[in-house]
Amino acid sequence: MARVHPTAVVDPQAELADDVEVGPYAVIGPRVKIGPGTRVGAHATIDGRTTIGARNRIFAHAALGGEPQDKKYRAEDTELVVGDDNTIREFCTFNVGTVQGGGVTRVGSDNWIMAYVHVAHDCIVGDHCILANSATLGGHSVVGDWVILGGLTGVHQFVRIGAHAMTGGASLLLQDLPPFVICQGNPAAPHGLNSEGLRRRGFAPEAVTALRRAYKAIYREGLTVAEAAAAITRLAEETQQHRSHLDLLRDFVQASTRGIVR
């Protein structure tokens, strides 16, 4: 049976795995499901149609599953889904989705989410990400796997951030940030390839070199996006063993509707 502090308020309809721990004064609503090994800190609030996976650590005063901050919302039956092995620190806020955005806000697994982070309605956050203190995702944002957002980063609604990308602290993202790229500033500007992050994740030196060449095609050679995409395609044909990384970068750039950080 779940270990619930006597001061916590857990609705009888909530579904908690047997080894869930709920701290003092936490509040858990009727449509919440929490998986095994998850710990909910003091004064945390989990509401709405919210599903939380296994072994998550939810710290004090986090507020998960609240209504979206969207004036169009009319209490539709939308949801929040959180994966496994996440650390969600103090005062984080994750909202449920909206019918206009597909109805689901989704956070993946093995993410390190620091204090005061906001994940708005209909956002998608991948796996293995680090969102530093007070990073804020506007509605419908998409964050790929292995992304690092520096503290106080602001992400405009509908912006996409590609896998392995990184922002410096206090950056403002108004356009899409391609995979593997570092940016900084207000508005954010590109500052090279995330080569150190790629090295730490086991990317071969040859793969990093190929991505550097692709970065130059996008940012250093004065090419249009279409011309840069064609150049990356030619590079991928020359370096077949690293083609998946180059294809990921090219496809992201080509699919951007907001334009990319340049």
In angstroms, how far apart are the furthest CA atoms of the chain?
A: 64
Alpha helix positions (H), the chain: 195-200, 205-219, 225-238, 243-255
Active site residue 168: no
The SS3 assignment for 196 reads helix
Buried b (16+ CB within 10 A) or exposed e, 226-254: eebbebbeebbeebeebbebbebbbebbe
Choosing from 65, 101, 139, 168, the catalytic residue is 139
Token readout for 202 is 């086991």
- Based on the residue annotation, tell me whether 191 is a catalytic residue of this protein: no
State yes or no: is 139 an active-site residue.
yes
Residue 125 token pair: 């956050």
Residue whose tokens read 């005062």: 91
> CA-CA distances (angstroms) from residue 179 to 24, 100, 154?
41, 27, 18
Residue among 61, 121, 128, 242 flagged as catalytic: 121
For 184, the 3-state DSSP assignment is strand
Distance CA(165)–CA(150), nearest Å, equals: 11
Contact between residue 86 and residue 111 where contact means Cβ atoms under 8 Å apart: yes
Catalytic residue among 84, 85, 122, 176: 122
Beta bridge partners of 113: 88, 131
Which are the catalytic amino acids?
121-122, 139
